[in-house]
Amino acid sequence: MALDAGREYPPETVWHAQELYCVARLTFDQVAEETDVAVSTLKRWSATYGWRDKREKLAQAEADLQADTIMARSVMLKKLIVSQDAQTGFAVSALESLAMKQAEAARAQKLMSAATRNELRPIRTKEDAVAALEEAVELKLNSMLQSPQDLDFKAVQDVRKAMELVAEMKAVETKEKDDGRGVRGTNIEAMLDALR
């Protein structure tokens, strides 16, 4: 157990914080928010367990791995062009499939990161809610377009309905602002149902 001014932390908290800092490359402030551990404690753990060095080594290893993968793909593709060998073709196909999966995972992680940041945005007014719902629809649409193989007709219909609802809500918002009454009568539940 790690101690901080009399407060004990289970080892899992220390290792989770290390993972967030070293692997996910979050800042100390972001790790503190995720783990509910003081920044000063995180910095002390970082010094004790060598987090900065681990973070740099992991970043270098990831960069090297990415460069090596690109080089291997290039070598194998050139070999396939010259030899037109079936085994080389299979290897190239496997490497290209891996590259596509890695790219999809990176895109999904960016979308999830954007969605997570947006979840934390405060919604104080109905206008904020309309803007957040519009953004949620855009994220859902972007996610669908990133994986066209997973598209189905119902999902497309749901997004279309959600987009129509956002447009309707914005029209009501504009009309009510023009009338000086603020936003009223918007159906946020219908929007949430369309996104499910």
Q: 2, exposed or middle or buried, with CB in 10 Å at 0-12, 13-18, 19+?
A: middle
> What is each CA distance from 110 to 19, 105, 106, 125, 128, in whole angstroms?
18, 9, 6, 27, 23
pLDDT at 132: 79
Which tokens sit at 10?
Answer: 């289970």
Q: 172, exposed or middle or buried, with CB in 10 Å at 0-12, 13-18, 19+?
A: middle
What is the reported pTM?
Answer: 0.45
Instruction: Tell me how many degrees the CA angle 65-18-117 measures, rounded to the nearest 5.
Output: 85
pLDDT at 186: 46
pLDDT at 93: 81
Number of H helices, E strands in the chain: 8, 2
Give alpha helix (H) positions in 84-187: 86-119, 126-146, 153-178
Q: How far apart are CA 75 and CA 93, in angstroms?
A: 13
Closest C-alpha among 95, 159, 107, 97 to residue 133: 159
Residues of the chain with pLDDT under 70: 1-6, 107-122, 146-150, 177-196
pLDDT at 183: 42
Query: Within a 10 A sphere around the Cβ of 130, how many other Cβ atoms?
Result: 20
Q: How far apart are CA 87 and CA 79, in angstroms?
A: 11
Mapping DSSP to helix (H, G, I), strand (E, B) and coil, where does residue 186 land? coil
Q: Return left, alpha or beta for 188; rule: phi > 0 is left, psi -120 to 50 is alpha, else beta.
A: alpha
